[in-house]
A and B are shown apart, each in its own frame.
Chain A
Amino acid sequence: MDETEVRRTPSVIDRYFTRWYKTDLKGKPCEDHCILQHSNRICVITLAESHPLLQNGKAIESINYQISAGCSRLQNKVSGKSKRGGQFLTELAPLCRIKNSDGEEYTVYSCVRGRLLEVNEDILTRPNLLLEKPSAEGYIAVLLPKFEESKSITDTLLTRAEYEDILLKRSAVKVDQ
């Protein structure tokens, strides 16, 4: 009956990463992102569990890394230890646009300043990864912040506790309504 175990030991993310959040991106309600920062400063950009794409039970229709006519995140290439050639992104640089079966389109943003190392191409062929494992195989992109900015880039992000607080307030508003 007890098929799965609630772990007593910390998970990979717990062990090596810090969870940071950015909510209501660009003023759009509940479009929350989660940034997993490794102790080596690398950041993995993911959808937060409260993001509408993960809440409304709709299937993913399309994922597009072509963010403008002249720029596709799929063309990003890095070489060498110093990751030469990678696109340098600011906090509000779009990473991709995702459409669900209702035709609603959402933009995922980089959330932190840094060099783009890779985007997750697996979700193009298996969009369900995004819905099933948003903070693992369903990640969006990997960024490397500048060494000197590795501490300051999280200044404008929310901690896990602050994020949970916001979720509580949102549900309280809902109950009021």
Chain B
Amino acid sequence: MLPLKDKDRPIAVALLGAGCCPRCILRFCCVSLQSAYRQPHEDILFELQRFIHEKVADESHGATEEVPADSPPCKKVRLEAEQGGEVHEGGEDISVVEGKSKICVVCLGVLQDFCDKDFAKKVAEAVTSEKYEFDSLVLSVSLPAQLSVREHSAWLLIKTEVRQKGLCLGKDDVIQVKEAFKWILQSLLSQQLGVPVVSKSPLEVSVGFTHPETDGDCHFLAAACSGCFKPAKNKLSVFTRMAVAKALERISEESFRRKFTCPPWLPATKCTVQEVQCLHAPVFVAGRYNKFSRTLPQTPWVIDGERRMESSVEELITSPLIASFQAEGFNFSSSGREDVDVRTLGNGRPFAVELLNPRRARFSPAEVRKIQEAINKSSDKIRVRDLQIVTRDAVGHMKEGEEEKTKSYSALIWTHKAIEEQDLEFINDIKDLGIAQKTPLRVLHRRPLAVRQRVIHTMATRFRDDHHFYLQLRTQAGTYIKEFVHGDFGRTKPSLGDLMKTETDILELDVESVDVDWPPAVTDPESGENPDLPASPQHGGTPDC
């Protein structure tokens, strides 16, 4: 039995006469019992007809005529409905007809031909062929925008009916096509795939419908409510669902009825289903890396479309990750970056990789550890530690307060003038030296010109020979070390050369530590110990700073 009440009868009669499918009638009768929609189409129709005829039989005190299933919607009903007249005074006129071949004037077939096991099977096959690892999914449905126009037209039709019966029903009480469709397809899809279809899941399966025949249906709205349709950069058409809905809210009933049929005109074709799209939420992997090479850029280095340097930190880290997660793409980010000729030693630099649309997303700590080992085996130019799966929010910690953090460096300095050990002593005594740096010439082509105040907290020197010494620096993040040493045409003030009153240059630079406490250290899943000892730099290769 359908949960219909007497007050629903005039609505059902009017809509059935207008060429509405049984499920759309349930929607407009505000039936919120999901199982009612899941019954086969024919059963709902049968029950609807019985519901209508029961009453009619009561009223007319006689038997109703049997109506042939294939006859078109009763002309008289439609005509009278358009005129807003009383339509069902006698039982003879309620020739409620719904043939299988008729396409619903409101849902354009969405609740007719795409609500069965066969369609659910098709969607399930599309999902399975993508080879995702998943234990739930969320179904999203996109419908042609012009469906709202038809919905509105049907609403105006029954509003007249309802008003005459003194019933109170708001447009918002009507069950949406999308909602009803999901109630039906979700349970079918769940049976096919053996996983729950829920409202929130990392795997989103999208089913989209188009209906070219009626694309022009919403064009009249542009003339009536031009303000609602503004071209947007990323939209193919101005007739988005949002814009159409807004225009329908604004347009007056008279003006709508003048420009569009009420009830909606009968289409010849049903909706076309687009390719099923699957998208898995990204997975974020974080860790810290060391870079031992002075000829390895952090990201692929391309000049004039030509590749310089055969690899990059980013590629060495992400290739094994992409293979393991079977991801479609990635975004690499890190807490700052080093130049191609700078090494990153110590505990390494925090990084995070966003893996896009991964087919596999769940890995145990032991499996993550294996991936880390694979990365470390693939090259001796880098080393990764503390590799772990993190949340999107946690990645924010990496960028938080990047400017306030300090960084430690070690540099090999050349001096033009010969030096002795005692010439370096005054440098060790300098504390919190403020410097003003104009945007270095080497990055000025892509960054704004500005003067930035930076602080060199401490410096420590170690004499090497009469023209060389080692300099340890602890500085505010964002300080350009190379420019502090050579002065950048006098554009960093004071420079080390200014302090020492001779020309100075930087021959080697290493990042010793990046003071960001993220991501947390990872313990070995087997031994429970952290085997990540501080990295020892591998010597060899000529410095080319």
The reply to whether chain A is a binding partner of chain B is: yes
Chain A residues in the interface with B (C-beta under 8 A): 2-5, 7, 9, 11-12, 16, 38-42, 44, 78-81, 83, 117-118, 120, 122, 129, 133, 136-137, 139, 142, 144
Given the complex, which residues of B lie within 8 Å of A9, measured CB to CB? 414, 505, 507
Distance A46 CA – B303 CA, assembled complex (angstroms): 26
Given the complex, which residues of A lie within 8 Å of B445, measured CB to CB? 38, 40-42, 144
Besides A11-B505, A12-B486, A122-B490, 15 new A-B residue pairs in contact (Cβ under 8 A), listed by A number: A4-B416, A4-B417, A5-B418, A7-B414, A16-B442, A38-B445, A40-B445, A44-B441, A44-B489, A81-B446, A117-B449, A118-B438, A136-B490, A139-B489, A144-B445
Measured CB to CB, the closest approach of chain A to B209, in angstroms, equals 43
Does B487 sit within 8 A of A, measured CB to CB?
yes
The DSSP consensus for interface residues of chain A is loop
When A78-B449, A80-B448, A136-B490 are in contact, do A38 and B418 touch as well, CB less than 8 Å?
Answer: no
Given the complex, which residues of B lie within 8 Å of A137, measured CB to CB? 487, 489-490
Does B444 sit within 8 A of A, measured CB to CB?
yes
A78, A79, A120, A137, most chain B CB atoms within 10 A? A137
Distance A13 CA – B429 CA, assembled complex (angstroms): 31
Does B467 sit within 8 A of A, measured CB to CB?
yes
A9, A39, A80, most chain B CB atoms within 10 A? A9
Closest to B545 in A: A15
* A/B interface sample: 30 pairs, CB < 8 A: A4-B416, A4-B417, A4-B418, A5-B416, A5-B418, A5-B467, A7-B414, A12-B486, A16-B442, A38-B442, A38-B445, A39-B303, A40-B442, A40-B446, A41-B445, A42-B441, A42-B445, A44-B441, A78-B449, A79-B448, A80-B448, A81-B446, A122-B490, A136-B487, A137-B489, A137-B490, A139-B489, A142-B441, A142-B444, A144-B445
Count of B interface residues, CB-CB < 8 Å: 23
Does B447 sit within 8 A of A, measured CB to CB?
yes
Contact B417–A3 (Cβ < 8 Å): yes
Given the complex, which residues of B lie within 8 Å of A136, measured CB to CB? 487, 489-490
Measured CB to CB, the closest approach of chain A to B436, in angstroms, equals 12
Given the complex, which residues of B lie within 8 Å of A5, measured CB to CB? 414, 416, 418, 466-467
Closest to A118 in B: B449
Given the complex, which residues of B lie within 8 Å of A81, measured CB to CB? 446-448
Which 6 pairs, one residue from A and one from B, show the smallest C-beta to C-beta distance? A137-B490, A40-B445, A5-B467, A12-B486, A139-B489, A4-B416
User: How many cross-chain pairs have Cβ atoms below 8 Å apart between A and B?
Assistant: 65
Distance A83 CA – B466 CA, assembled complex (angstroms): 43
Distance A7 CA – B505 CA, assembled complex (angstroms): 11
Given the complex, which residues of A lie within 8 Å of B505, measured CB to CB? 9, 11-12
Distance A3 CA – B501 CA, assembled complex (angstroms): 13
Distance A4 CA – B444 CA, assembled complex (angstroms): 32
Closest to A1 in B: B418
Closest to A46 in B: B489
Distance A4 CA – B417 CA, assembled complex (angstroms): 5
Distance A2 CA – B467 CA, assembled complex (angstroms): 11
Which residues B426-471 have CB closer than 8 A to chain A?
A: 438, 441-449, 466-467
Given the complex, which residues of B lie within 8 Å of A80, measured CB to CB? 448
Q: A38's contact among B441, B449, B466, B467, by CB below 8 Å, is which?
A: B441
Given the complex, which residues of B lie within 8 Å of A44, measured CB to CB? 441, 489
Contact A129–B416 (Cβ < 8 Å): no
A5, A9, A44, A133, most chain B CB atoms within 10 A? A5
Given the complex, which residues of B lie within 8 Å of A4, measured CB to CB? 416-418
When A3-B418, A5-B467, A42-B441 are in contact, do A129 and B490 touch as well, CB less than 8 Å?
Answer: yes
Distance A7 CA – B504 CA, assembled complex (angstroms): 11
Which residues B477-506 have CB closer than 8 A to chain A?
A: 486-487, 489-490, 505
Measured CB to CB, the closest approach of chain B to A81, in angstroms, equals 6
Closest to A137 in B: B490
Distance A12 CA – B416 CA, assembled complex (angstroms): 13
Measured CB to CB, the closest approach of chain B to A49, in angstroms, equals 16
Given the complex, which residues of B lie within 8 Å of A38, measured CB to CB? 441-442, 445
Measured CB to CB, the closest approach of chain A to B434, in angstroms, equals 18
Distance A133 CA – B445 CA, assembled complex (angstroms): 24
B417, B438, B445, B466, most chain A CB atoms within 10 A? B445
Given the complex, which residues of A lie within 8 Å of B489, measured CB to CB? 44, 120, 136-137, 139
Contact A42–B414 (Cβ < 8 Å): no
A12, A38, A83, A129, most chain B CB atoms within 10 A? A12
Distance A117 CA – B439 CA, assembled complex (angstroms): 11
Distance A70 CA – B59 CA, assembled complex (angstroms): 97
Closest to A83 in B: B449
Given the complex, which residues of A lie within 8 Å of B442, measured CB to CB? 16, 38, 40
Given the complex, which residues of B lie within 8 Å of A2, measured CB to CB? 418
Measured CB to CB, the closest approach of chain B to A20, in angstroms, equals 16
Measured CB to CB, the closest approach of chain A to B203, in angstroms, equals 39
Distance A16 CA – B339 CA, assembled complex (angstroms): 13
Measured CB to CB, the closest approach of chain A to B134, in angstroms, equals 42
Contact A42–B444 (Cβ < 8 Å): yes
Distance A9 CA – B441 CA, assembled complex (angstroms): 21
Given the complex, which residues of A lie within 8 Å of B303, measured CB to CB? 39
Distance A161 CA – B389 CA, assembled complex (angstroms): 57
Given the complex, which residues of A lie within 8 Å of B416, measured CB to CB? 4-5
Distance A122 CA – B492 CA, assembled complex (angstroms): 12
Distance A109 CA – B490 CA, assembled complex (angstroms): 21
Closest to A147 in B: B445
Distance A31 CA – B438 CA, assembled complex (angstroms): 30
Closest to B450 in A: A79
Measured CB to CB, the closest approach of chain B to A120, in angstroms, equals 8
Closest to A5 in B: B467
Measured CB to CB, the closest approach of chain A to B300, in angstroms, equals 17
Which residues B282-336 have CB closer than 8 A to chain A?
A: 303
Measured CB to CB, the closest approach of chain A to B76, in angstroms, equals 70
Closest to B543 in A: A9
Distance A81 CA – B447 CA, assembled complex (angstroms): 5
Distance A139 CA – B490 CA, assembled complex (angstroms): 9
B443, B467, B487, B490, most chain A CB atoms within 10 A? B490
Distance A80 CA – B439 CA, assembled complex (angstroms): 12
Given the complex, which residues of A lie within 8 Å of B487, measured CB to CB? 136-137
Measured CB to CB, the closest approach of chain A to B145, in angstroms, equals 38
Closest to B415 in A: A5
